[in-house]
Structure 1
Amino acid sequence: MPEFIYKALNGSGEPVEGAVHANNRDEAQNLLHARSLFVEKLSQNVFSASRKIRVSDKEFLGFTKQLASLLRAGMPLVESIAIARKRGHSKAFGAVLEDLEAKLKDGAAMAEVCSRYPEVFDEIFLSNVRTAEKGGGLYQALCEYQSYLSRRIAFQSTLKKAIAYPVFLIFTLVVVLGFLFVFIVPSFSELFDSFNAELPYATRLVLGLAETFPIVAGGLVLAAFSLAGFLKLTKERVSLRQRLDGLKLRIPVAGWIIQQSRYAQISRNMSTMVTSGMPLVAALESLADSFGKTFSGPQLHAIREQVMEGVPLHKAMLEQNLMSEQAVMLIEAGESAGDLSGMLSEVADYYETELTDRLDVILSLFEPALMLIIGFVVGGIIVSMYLPIFYLAEVVK
């Protein structure tokens, strides 16, 4: 949604400045008038139309906790949002909350206003708010969403911590090799040229790698930028992105990790949406849209169509080969017992636990192996550089 920058005077005649989000200039003008502001200057931020509002999960979780605490203390919704808005949020998120506060003062429904910012308020949050607006209990709805978001943040944090150390080791290896090939090995090369003698094979190999290193490094950087550009250009080509995602899932180990993580997200999101009162078909449609550019998107669309035709969820998932047979059996049990949301939560726990346990095993083997490789490569380069010196010392003797 476009952002409009304004300069105005408030009811006391004091100058105020800020930003407001609106579909057009007239709507922005009306919003400011509703706040009893006399607009002196109003202009659209030319960068806002193409810039998405980004709010981190931790920041949004902090907002929901603040809002829930204020509501529990008995404060009205509009005043609660006004107070929460002033508690250290980013400028973009603060502008969204300011617009939400103004619209609520005008009598709009919270879910209706929040739905205008899908990049900030996800479908699960909207579903909880809609349910609360129909039956009351916004505080309880916010608490349920906090539970979901906290688990999602914890799971993502576990994955990040699991891959952080191996990535750091690989980055360190690349930096060390770059330093050796750019600064150390060339200085040895100048020394060896004065020997006028045949060098050992290991030394010649390292010197050859040092000569080609700038070309290889430049090629890798160019390939990385080309890949990033290709992915950006094909961002809206859904079928191509789905095929690329399918290829990504076939990568040994990494593909399995991506797939398990995705199944955990799907089952956790579906469980939360069903718990909040969203119909199963609507939940599947939301998930299909969220994962539309992945290999799972067509599977979720097909499952939704089958469920609409009366096919049980577990049969549709089994036919589309979404999730493992063990997970599907749990979902079947949930459908039979009338506790689908509970069993979907169990499935999410199953995938999250299996993934974290398997990652612990993989990393316990991968990290020492990577350390050995780093030691072997770096040590081999250093030894190969000193071999000619040892050889000359033997000749002198």
Structure 2
Amino acid sequence: MPTYIYEAIDASGATVTGTLNAADERAALTAVRELGLHPMSARPGAERAAGDGVDTDRKRRGRKVGLADLTLFTRQLANLVRGGLPMMATLDALVENTENARLHAVLADVRDKVAGGQSVHEAMADHPREFSNLYLSLVEAGEASGDLAAVLERLAGFLEQDLERRAQIRAALAYPILLLSVGTLIVFALVTFLIPRFAVMFSDYGRALPFLTRVVLGVADFMGSYWWVVVLGLAALFGLFRLWHGTPQGRLAWDRSRLRWPVLGRLFERAATARLARTLGTLLRGGVNILDALAMLEGVVDNAYLAEGLRSIRAGVREGESLGRETRASGRFPGLLSQMMLVGEQTGDVEGALSTVADAFDVEVSNSLKGLVALLEPSIILVMGSVVGVVIYAILIPIFQMNQVAG
């Protein structure tokens, strides 16, 4: 069995670390509890970084609380609460063991306010940059239901899935971006350094240069003399786009058009729907009211066109209409979503139906992204290779002709 490194709190409130063998992370956490400790985290031994072993005086770093920081904190909070550690002791332990400087300050403030009599969600609400409305609503629902541990477990799982999905997208796009960057640098070097040298040599050619050569030399001369015009023009276009996109009408038109792009439009729609379904399912399972949950989704989908559809759905649900029928009537979401909602309403398990939809669309998005990247990589190589080939060919034509004349 693999070895896991655990970090836990003992009966005196001190932080302890150690190693044990377990089948998976859940089994490792269970084994730590059997030792009479309150586990904070358990990770495979291969992930242990140099300098592990908790040092409460270690240097804190980071000025921003990223998704990875929030996810780790939420998982540790869920583990400690589920282990039965009192909330003040839990917050003390998390403050001491948080490396991100900004999150450390936020948690210290939350701890002090909880000690002063506020609830956890009330203390967190004073830090909207770190804790979203979705996060706060789930914590509030968990406190109200008396089952905060279970709600935190679901919230941690939701954040971990979101973090994993983003990591997959970054990993998939890393190589195409590298190819595009290298290709752009090569073309820039050819236009900036190589072609101008041949232009000097061709000035004594004594005859009209081939058309392709004149075009390449003209482009290089223009870029060399007026590159700043190109940069300013692109900056102006980008600025105008940002101004237009900043208006409600512009944002709505742009987000609607994105969903209609060839190939990418379906990918955007499926990704947004998967996130919407998983978020709504998490909120409902956590005890959040359906109307409040729908209101929160408007900021989650990050698409004004879909958010407008959610507002109409919420209005219908407020009047007593079916969630599934209102979703279908909006005409802005895939049919599978409304169909599964209707099934969930009939069986009394809307949360499970939404989870099924989210899993299905996550798989579709992952497979589509892999296929797109597999197509994108050779396309970038082909385009960049063609550009470089045309430039080199345009330079070699007059050189061959000069050699023939000299011969």
TM-score, normalised to structure 1's length?
0.80
Cα deviation, residue 54, structure 1? 4.3
Aligned residue among 365, 371, 392 for 1:361: 371
Q: Return closer, same or farther for 1:306/1:129 CA change in 2, 3 Å cut-off.
A: same
2:93 matches 1:67: no
Cα deviation, residue 289, structure 1? 4.3
Cα deviation, residue 285, structure 1? 1.0
Q: Return closer, same or farther for 1:320/1:171 CA change in 2, 3 Å cut-off.
A: same
Is the 2:74–2:152 contact (alpha carbons within 8 Å) kept by the matching residues of 1? yes
Distance 1:124 1:82 in 2: 24
Distance 2:245 2:87 in 1: 39
One-letter amino acid of the structure 2 residue matched with residue 225 of structure 1: A
Distance 2:125 2:236 in 1: 36
Is the 2:82–2:149 contact (alpha carbons within 8 Å) kept by the matching residues of 1? yes
SS at match of 2:304: coil
Q: Return closer, same or farther for 1:223/1:342 CA change in 2, 3 Å cut-off.
A: farther
| Worse overlay, 302-311 or 190-199 | 190-199
Aligned residue among 315, 329, 342 for 2:352: 342
Q: Return closer, same or farther for 1:77/1:151 CA change in 2, 3 Å cut-off.
A: same
| Worse overlay, 154-163 or 58-67 | 154-163
How many percent identity over aligned positions?
28
2:320 matches 1:320: no
How many residue pairs were aligned?
Answer: 345
Is the 1:268–1:345 contact (alpha carbons within 8 Å) kept by the matching residues of 2? yes
Cα deviation, residue 299, structure 1? 0.7
Distance 1:219 1:265 in 2: 41
Distance 1:141 1:152 in 2: 17
Cα deviation, residue 217, structure 1? 4.8
Cα deviation, residue 99, structure 1? 1.1
Is the 2:142–2:287 contact (alpha carbons within 8 Å) kept by the matching residues of 1? no
1:275: which partner in 2? 285
Q: Return closer, same or farther for 1:339/1:369 CA change in 2, 3 Å cut-off.
A: same
2:257: which partner in 1? 247
2:281 matches 1:288: no
Aligned residue among 170, 174, 177 for 2:187: 177
Distance 1:221 1:344 in 2: 46
Q: Which runs of 5+ in 2 are unaligned?
A: 1-62
Distance 2:165 2:278 in 1: 11
Aligned residue among 343, 349, 358 for 1:333: 343
Is the 1:54–1:119 contact (alpha carbons within 8 Å) kept by the matching residues of 2? no
Q: Return closer, same or farther for 1:320/1:217 CA change in 2, 3 Å cut-off.
A: farther
2:175 matches 1:165: yes
SS at match of 2:320: coil
2:119 matches 1:109: yes
2:114 matches 1:85: no
1:13: which partner in 2? none
Is the 2:255–2:305 contact (alpha carbons within 8 Å) kept by the matching residues of 1? yes
Q: Return closer, same or farther for 1:214/1:82 CA change in 2, 3 Å cut-off.
A: farther
Distance 1:229 1:86 in 2: 45
Aligned residue among 58, 64, 68 for 1:58: 68
Is the 1:70–1:80 contact (alpha carbons within 8 Å) kept by the matching residues of 2? yes
Distance 1:224 1:68 in 2: 48
After superposition, the CA RMSD in angstroms is 2.3
